[in-house]
């Protein structure tokens, strides 16, 4: 790989990562860092051009294709795959209408599921700048022990599994560092190799570039997760469960900043009603759209403190 390419990228990357917010999942008020006054704002030259929207889960194809599929969770009267597709489609239309110059790629457009392996592949093939995966949350079933009678003077109990409907709120997930090796491999294949088709994956320059991309993508993922959390809490009044690390396949293998949004608990009847309502879906889409606009502004500009 040519040294001038390395220098050009290393000089550019700090500009792309400027304005990164601190990571704090504790509360909405502590998520965002204070703004700096009397700053000089300059354009980095970077443009957010392609956003990949991933509607979680779906109906398994018949016959099934290669890879692992997941049908998602179900509420009392709706399914995660249906809700996420409706929200993703509305988000696509909102982005295309309100954010000029941004192309939206959908990992699925129908009820049919796309494998966990294929979803990040679609993002990488389309050279995405941002990957947003939309899901509905659910808690594991809980076990209830009940008295069912008496035998020889002793109480008789039985246990049964029931749906835990206590979950409530939104949750943002960013990829954890446990699978950073897989993330580095995807970055080498989809980012570094674009600069030089003959790049040696073991060359020190390639390793430096890969690690810098990895660091920047992680910072940007956390930035977007923080902005999303603030929008959901401050504007919509939603309960925030936090911003957490999780080494999910769709996040690890997307060679770009990535956030998975659990938009609510489909197993909670109140939240299920909200997730299926026109008002609820419009609020969710509006919050994500505002977060994307804010994120776009940050990554396309850098701040120089006077």
Each residue's pLDDT tens digit, 116-135 = 999 999 999 999 999 999 99
26 within domain boundaries: no
Comparing C-alpha atoms, which of 215, 306, 305, 300 is closest to residue 15?
Answer: 300
10 Å CB burial of residue 153 (0-12, 13-18, 19+) is exposed
158 within domain boundaries: yes
28 within domain boundaries: no
Please list the alpha-helical segments (H only) found in 173-276: 180-187, 193-195, 204-234, 249-252, 269-276
152 within domain boundaries: yes
Kindly tell me the sign of the dihedral angle through the C-alpha atoms of 123, 126, 129, 130: negative
What's the rounded Cα separation, in Å, for the pair 41 and 218? Answer: 23
Q: How confident is the model at residue 90 (pLDDT cuts 50, 70, 90)?
A: very high
Confidence (pTM): 0.81
41 within domain boundaries: no
Let me know: does 54 contact 132? Beta carbons within 8 Å: yes
CATH number, residue 286: 3.40.630.40
**CA angle (133 as vertex; 128, 138 as ends), nearest 5:** 170
Comparing C-alpha atoms, which of 295, 302, 234 is closest to residue 15?
Answer: 302
Q: Which domain holds residue 169?
A: 46-305
Quick check: 42 pLDDT over 70? Answer: no
Question: What was the pLDDT predicted at 34?
Answer: 44
Each residue's pLDDT tens digit, 4-22 = 455 445 545 544 444 333 3
Quick check: 239 pLDDT over 60? Answer: yes
184 within domain boundaries: yes
Give the count of domains, the chain: 1
255 within domain boundaries: yes
Let me know: does 48 contact 70? Beta carbons within 8 Å: no
Each residue's pLDDT tens digit, 168-206 = 999 999 998 887 788 788 887 876 655 555 556 666 777
Q: How much is the average pLDDT of 241-245? A: 95
Per DSSP bridges, beta strands 39-43 and 301-305 are antiparallel
Quick check: 24 pLDDT over 90? Answer: no
Asked if the peptide bond before residue 74 counts as cis, ω within 30 degrees of 0, the response is no
Q: How confident is the model at residue 151 (pLDDT cuts 50, 70, 90)?
A: confident
The 10 Å Cβ neighbour count of residue 36 is 11
3 within domain boundaries: no
Comparing C-alpha atoms, which of 243, 304, 289 is closest to residue 18?
Answer: 304
């Amino acid at each position: 790989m040519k040294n001038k390419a390395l220098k050009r990228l290393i000089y550019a990357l700090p500009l792309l990562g400027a304005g990164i917010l601190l990571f704090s999942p504790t509360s909405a008020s502590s998520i965002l860092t204070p703004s700096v006054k009397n700053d000089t704002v300059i354009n980095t030259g970077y443009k957010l051009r392609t956003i990949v929207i991933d509607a979680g889960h779906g109906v398994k194809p018949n016959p099934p294709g290669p890879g692992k599929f997941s049908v998602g969770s179900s509420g009392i009267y709706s399914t995660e795959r249906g809700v996420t597709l409706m929200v993703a489609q509305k988000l696509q239309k909102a982005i295309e209408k309100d954010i000029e110059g941004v192309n939206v790629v959908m990992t699925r457009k129908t009820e049919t599921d796309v494998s966990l392996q294929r979803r990040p592949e679609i993002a990488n093939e389309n050279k995405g700048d941002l990957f947003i995966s939309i899901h509905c949350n659910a808690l594991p079933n809980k076990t209830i022990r009940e008295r069912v009678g008496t035998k020889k003077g002793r109480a008789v109990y039985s246990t049964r599994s029931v749906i835990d409907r206590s979950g409530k709120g939104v949750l943002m997930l960013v990829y954890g560092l446990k699978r950073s090796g897989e993330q580095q491999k995807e970055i080498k294949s989809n980012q570094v190799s674009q600069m030089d088709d003959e790049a040696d994956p073991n060359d020190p320059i390639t390793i430096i570039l890969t690690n810098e991309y990895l660091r920047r993508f992680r910072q940007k993922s956390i930035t977007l997760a923080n902005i999303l959390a603030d929008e959901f809490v401050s504007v919509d009044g939603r309960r925030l469960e936090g911003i957490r690390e999780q080494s999910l396949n769709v996040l690890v293998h997307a060679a770009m900043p990535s956030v998975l949004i659990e938009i609510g608990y489909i197993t909670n009847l109140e939240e299920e009603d909200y997730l299926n309502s026109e008002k609820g879906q419009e609020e969710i889409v509006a919050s994500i759209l505002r977060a994307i606009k804010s994120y776009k502004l940050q990554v396309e500009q850098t701040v120089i403190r006077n």
